Chains A and B, each alone.
Chain A
């Protein structure tokens, strides 16, 4: 059995666990714990402390694993471990919380430093009325035009599929450019 993995990362409450749950064929193995910080508790009740883990069986020989990183900075020691051997990574951004954009940028840079693998950025919660426009998020995150910034609603399967497919297209494109 061959296995490959992708990592879903991003700030606290960006929607990583929902993203994996939307496409995983197993119930996401989550390490959520009740939040102790009063500030973070006002956003959600529980958060991922070690990792989320989802699976997509491709065929009888190949399985794709999706790993979600903990979003809170105090668990960032897990990031490097999770990034080892990843095919690519997705940075989730909460489009409705501009105060997390800088942290998203920082996480992106950190993961880029860990491994030179392709990545895409998913602007989550685009279905919300107070979501920032994609172009504005691109400016705020200082993303180069070459980097894919994709609208997403992590609670729905189709947008999540689109994000995963775009990452796979980027991986394929990089493999082909590396052959030239």
Chain B
């Protein structure tokens, strides 16, 4: 039976656990709401991963990790564009630019970071293909999954807590009416500022997430922080068409409605 399904039913952490326990070899393909990712395993260990169209070639990874200067990176792109990562790796080691440990450490960091990003994906579909092996032209690593699984479990717990705190993304945000609360004095991250800039009773949290290109987990995480700091409050979106409550009162007449409530009050008092 093909290993395929929905992340709502089977999370990334559960998939990693399965791969680890069954010592699987193959590639996990995940289609999220806006990106795709592939993670390859050999004998239950992480071998390679890639997210979207992100450049995951060795030269780029080493350059981003400051192991190659801008000049070295440019020369490699010009002269070694057709080299495989394995060939390039040997070349760089022989030239004394980097060590074998540098290469393996940075690849491991990059591949695990890709998997960490997948922990924030709560929507999407996946399938595991045993026929697709880790790409041979790329340098593979052999990384135990246990630590990643524990990290994933923590992320899952966080997700459940955030869902409890912010159950609906159809609500809006407004700045808290706290005298003395001055946003300028608060140290916010770039992401938090991006969200803050959209805080308006007219914008639903969904719309803010869409405008800031954040997924459900990321937007909940930031809003949770802002809520805890007492900077914002969750409110019903302004101008949202409220579904009229169904037969709240058996009459449309306002005076009759008030009379009805007063009758209820008198009855409860007399109990």
- Could you say which of A86, A169, A175 contacts B265, with CB atoms under 8 Å apart? A169
- Residues 59-101 of chain B, each 1 if its beta carbon lies under 8 Å from chain A, else 0: 0000000000000000000000000000000000000000000
Asked if B245 and A115 make an inter-chain contact with CB atoms under 8 angstroms apart, the answer reads yes
Q: CB within 8 Å of B: which of A36-88?
A: 56-59, 62, 64, 84-87
Residue B157 lies at the interface, judged by CB distance under 8 Å to chain A = no
Residue A110 lies at the interface, judged by CB distance under 8 Å to chain B = yes
Residue B52 lies at the interface, judged by CB distance under 8 Å to chain A = no
Asked if A165 and B265 make an inter-chain contact with CB atoms under 8 angstroms apart, the answer reads yes
Residue A148 lies at the interface, judged by CB distance under 8 Å to chain B = no
Asked if A168 and B265 make an inter-chain contact with CB atoms under 8 angstroms apart, the answer reads yes
Chain B residues with Cβ below 8 Å from A161 are: 268-269, 271
- Residues 79-118 of chain A, each 1 if its beta carbon lies under 8 Å from chain B, else 0: 0000011110000000000000011011001101101110
- Residues 135-173 of chain A, each 1 if its beta carbon lies under 8 Å from chain B, else 0: 000000010100000000000010001001100110110
We find that the number of chain B residues with CB closer than 8 angstroms to chain A is 35
- Residues 243-265 of chain B, each 1 if its beta carbon lies under 8 Å from chain A, else 0: 10111111100100110111111
Report the Cα distance A161→B161, complex, angstroms: 34
Report the Cα distance A58→B205, complex, angstroms: 42
Closest Cβ neighbor of B170 among chain A residues: A113
Residue B219 lies at the interface, judged by CB distance under 8 Å to chain A = no
Report the Cα distance A110→B168, complex, angstroms: 7
Residue A26 lies at the interface, judged by CB distance under 8 Å to chain B = no
Asked if A116 and B236 make an inter-chain contact with CB atoms under 8 angstroms apart, the answer reads yes
Extra A-B contacts (5), CB below 8 Å, given A2-B250, A176-B258 = A4-B249, A59-B267, A85-B245, A116-B236, A168-B265
Sample 15 A-B pairs with CB under 8 A, ordered by A number: A2-B250, A4-B249, A64-B264, A85-B247, A105-B164, A106-B163, A106-B164, A109-B168, A116-B242, A161-B271, A165-B268, A168-B268, A172-B265, A175-B254, A176-B258
Q: Which residues of A contact B (CB under 8 A)?
A: 2-4, 23, 56-59, 62, 64, 84-87, 102-103, 105-106, 109-110, 112-113, 115-117, 142, 144, 157, 161, 164-165, 168-169, 171-172, 175-176, 179
